[in-house]
Amino acid sequence: MSKLQVGVIFGGNSSEYPVSLHSVASVLRNLDANKYDVTMIGIDPNGNWYVYDGDIDTLEHDHWLESGHATRALLSPSKQEGLLILENGTYTTKKLDVLLPILHGKNGEDGTIQGLFTLSQIPYVGCNHVSSAIAMDKEYTHIICESAGIPMAPYIALRKNMPQTMAQIVKQVEAKLQFPLFVKPANAGSSFGISKVNVMDDLEKAIDFAYAYDDKIVIESGISGFEVGSSVLGNDALIIGDVDEIETHNSFFDYDAKYELENTQIHCPARISDEKKAEIKAYAKTIYHVLGCSGLSRIDMFIDDDEKIFFNEINTIPGFTSASRYPSMMANVGYDFPKLLDTLLELALEKANATK
């Protein structure tokens, strides 16, 4: 049998570009070369597309663009063309059977590129453009999940194009929220732009910081407790991975805690009762279906001091390094890295066939 033609997309015009490089390196090392003919497709921080045919280490350390192994390319929105590879004033085409985006944050996880995939009519791993966009936007996630009865922290949303005075914002905060507050860009990941605010005098600075990453922000009441996560794999029938637990001595689970494990330890499985794990997994299934997800997601929640569960956020393309939480949770239920990737590609083809 001929190998499946897989386009693996990495990089991206996003603040999470470096995270993608580390994730995709692990993915490429774990894709079975006997099953897949892999085309590496890189997007640089300016949004330019390339086909890359160099080694994985060069990619991971962000020297791929100047390596001499990157050729300009683009994905056509036309079904007939597929991938266009541009050289010497002309182009060649390459047909791909399935796309595996390892992109995080804006323009990669927010439905933007998923819309292009849909136009190209190439099957792809992960949520569709609508679910990706909703899951990326913390305000819309709040609205939809709260309407389904899923508990979340109280919040307010602010928009840069609808300016308010600090006095007006303070009034909203005092009426609805409690300190500590978390101020977040509505559309960003990896804890970029997030601040923990303990007193009102620090709120304006945190708002300005969040607006540097997005034109819409959310301000949430902090939940006193600890964070747990649940991994989901599947389209309609779902496989739920193990539950993990974050133990951090930082003020919150920030970028350094996530990627350097600064003052942080991740326990998988979580150090909680089986009954609480079952409750978390049930919430994860509900959230996944309510948001219309497919393929995969990692769903993060809090357990407060009274052992109540609160949904925090969903990541539709979670981290994929060998030490990342999603692969670790799935490995604990029998899906090692190669099997996990096999399953994700199968699910992408299954979803495409179901919509024909």
- 183 and 229 fall within a common domain: no
Dist. CA 111–CA 104, nearest whole Å:
11
- 199 and 261 fall within a common domain: no
315 is in an annotated binding site: yes
Question: Which of 124, 139, 165 is where one domain is finished?
Answer: 124
312 is in an annotated binding site: yes
Residue 225 Rama label (left phi>0; alpha psi -120 to 50; beta): left
Q: Would 136 be classed as within a structural domain?
A: no
- 329 and 342 fall within a common domain: yes
Domain range for 47 is 4-124
Q: Would 31 be classed as within a structural domain?
A: yes
> What are 116-147's pLDDT values in tens digits?
999 999 999 999 999 999 999 999 999 999 99
Q: Can you give the CATH number for the domain in which 264 is found?
A: 3.30.470.20
Question: Which of 198, 221, 244 is where one domain is finished?
Answer: 221
> What are 148-183's pLDDT values in tens digits?
999 999 999 999 988 889 999 999 999 999 999 999
Q: Can you give the CATH number for the domain in which 110 is found?
A: 3.40.50.20
Beta bridge partners of 262: none
- 198 and 230 fall within a common domain: no
Residue at 84: amino acid letter:
L
139 is in an annotated binding site: no
Q: Would 244 be classed as within a structural domain?
A: yes
The model carries a pTM of 0.92
Residue at 185: amino acid letter:
P
332 is in an annotated binding site: no
Q: Would 131 be classed as within a structural domain?
A: no
| pLDDT reported for residue 257 | 46
Q: Would 111 be classed as within a structural domain?
A: yes
The secondary structure element, H or E, covering residue 98 is: strand 98-101
Catalytic residues: 16, 190, 324
Q: Would 26 be classed as within a structural domain?
A: yes
> What are 244-299's pLDDT values in tens digits?
999 977 655 545 544 456 667 999 999 999 999 999 999 999 999 999 999 999 99
| pLDDT reported for residue 192 | 82
182 is in an annotated binding site: yes
- 33 and 57 fall within a common domain: yes
Question: Which of 102, 124, 146 is where one domain is finished?
Answer: 124
Q: How many structural domains are present in the chain?
A: 3
2 is in an annotated binding site: no
Q: Would 326 be classed as within a structural domain?
A: yes
Provide CB contacts within 8 A for 258, sequence distance 6+. Answer: 190, 191, 264, 319
Q: Side by side, which strands form the sheet with 98-101?
A: 90-94, 83-87, 70-75, 49-52, 36-43, 4-11, 98-101
Number of H helices, E strands in the chain: 11, 16
311 is in an annotated binding site: no
